[in-house]
Amino acid sequence: MVLTRRLATGALLVTSLAVTISACGPSHSAALETVKLDPKAVVDPLAAQTSGWILQHATAGTVGARAVHVTGTSKDSGHTVTFNLKVAGSHGCTGTMKESNAGSFQMISNGTTVWIKPDDEFWRTAAGVTDQATLNKVEGKYLQGSASSSDFSALAKLCKMKTLLSSFSKVSNSTKGETRGPITMVNGQRVVKISDTADSAYAYATDTAQPKMVQVVDPSSGGERFTFDYPGTAVTINPPPDDLILTQ
């Protein structure tokens, strides 16, 4: 199924963000089973598992990780969006995003609120702020919005692994078109490739008893490529101080 390969990113809504800048001058599922390995056997730990099982468990492993480092690219209205985010489990994320020909911004989310700090190029391009005196006033300042608002919800999705990977968790053993490839290496890790015969997108999951997502690629018009790694240390979310937040 085509939808099983899609990430729930949505557009970055740069137009909506520009309006904001100008104004500022789940359901429960059965518990996942655990693969029990024979310590004497040197085999693929996922050899007996279906592609659907691997996707479900890799999604659960990523969602349950205490910290996930997500990098990648996507498309938005013909622009290439590059992002580098550290996700603190279900508690939000921090990082940077850059859109070609539109500048970049730092981003912080604590799960309910999103703050972005645009650079000068983003202020000029997305908001049309060209007056130097105005730029001086907003330089280094953050915009604040609700994570559920139309302006910021698409950004907040990138901080929620459960939302981002929601379509993968819905794949079952009976889902047609899911195929697995041979074991290979991605970024120094043994991985198994899961593809969908209905489209060109695919995913890599760690070839481990409790798999996690390593990469998701969609070569179609969206051009999405997400890479996941797991730093093993907690990510701290620190909202900006009040004096650095712009108010309308």
Each residue of 50-109: pLDDT tens digit?
888 999 999 999 999 999 999 998 877 777 889 999 999 888 999 999 988 889 999 999
Residue bearing the bigger pLDDT, 160 or 171 = 160
Q: Does residue 41 form part of some domain?
A: no
CA distance 85 to 42: 36
Task: Indicate the pairing of strand 178-186 with strand 189-196.
Answer: antiparallel
150-188 core/surface letters (b: 16 or more CB in 10 A; e: else): ebbbbbbbbbbbbbbbbbbbbbeeebeebebeeeeeeee
Residue bearing the bigger pLDDT, 4 or 76 = 76
The pLDDT > 90 percentage for the chain reads 45
Q: What pTM, to 2 d.p., does this model score? A: 0.81
Each residue of 125-145: pLDDT tens digit?
888 888 899 999 999 999 999
pLDDT of residue 108: 97
Question: In which domain, by residue range, is 221 found?
Answer: 2-23+47-242
Number of domains in the chain: 1
CATH number for position 199: 2.50.20.20
Q: Does residue 189 form part of some domain?
A: yes
| Residue 154 banded pLDDT, cuts 50, 70, 90 | confident
